[in-house]
């Protein structure tokens, strides 16, 4: 699905906060921490806008549910892995989505002798045209 509307149309889910146990440090696995997730879906929203039909768009409550399942699910070492899993599920489960941007942030990251306001990973994945 290509066209002028796909390039500009987006569904944005911003500031989803979930508790996860991801990271390479034992404390991250034991205590867990909040993860803030933003997801941007790019797809043609004109059919939904003209018809007022949920079946012609993406139900973002489903995207929220899947992101929560991944973040609150089995721990992994890297924030990159969390973002990749969210992007993969969005593209697999929602065929109208042409591309997805996923940002996963960890607030208040402790390094050796300092604390950062946060760290984040942001990825963009496009549907394979094949």
Quote the pTM value: 0.89
Q: For domain 4-126, which CATH number applies: 3.30.420.40, 3.40.50.1370, 3.40.190.120, 3.30.1130.10?
A: 3.30.1130.10
Residue 74: DSSP 8-state: S
Supply the pLDDT for residue 111. Answer: 72
Supply the pLDDT for residue 128. Answer: 85
For the chain, the domains span 4-126
Supply the pLDDT for residue 115. Answer: 81
- The residue count for the chain: 130
Concatenated DSSP letters of 6-71: HHH-EEEEEEEEEEE--SSSHHHHHH-EEEEEEEEEE---HHHHHHT-GGGS--HHHHHHHHHHHH
Residue-wise pLDDT for 67-111, tens only, equals 999 999 999 999 999 999 999 999 999 999 999 999 999 998 777
If one compares 3 and 18, the residue with the highest pLDDT of the two is 18
Supply the pLDDT for residue 130. Answer: 67
Residues assigned a catalytic role? 106
């Amino acid at each position: 699905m290509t066209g002028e509307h796909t390039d500009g149309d987006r569904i944005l889910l911003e500031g989803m906060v979930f508790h996860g146990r991801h990271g390479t440090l034992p404390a991250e696995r034991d205590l867990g921490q909040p993860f803030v997730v933003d997801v941007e879906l790019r797809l043609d929203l004109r059919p939904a806008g003209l018809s007022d039909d949920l079946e012609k768009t993406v139900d973002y409550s489903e995207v929220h549910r899947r992101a929560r399942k991944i973040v609150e699910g089995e721990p992994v070492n890297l924030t990159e892995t969390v973002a990749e899993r969210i992007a993969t599920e969005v593209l697999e489960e929602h065929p109208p989505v042409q591309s997805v941007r996923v940002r996963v942030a960890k607030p208040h990251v402790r390094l050796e002798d300092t604390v950062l306001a946060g760290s984040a990973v942001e990825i963009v994945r496009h549907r394979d045209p094949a």
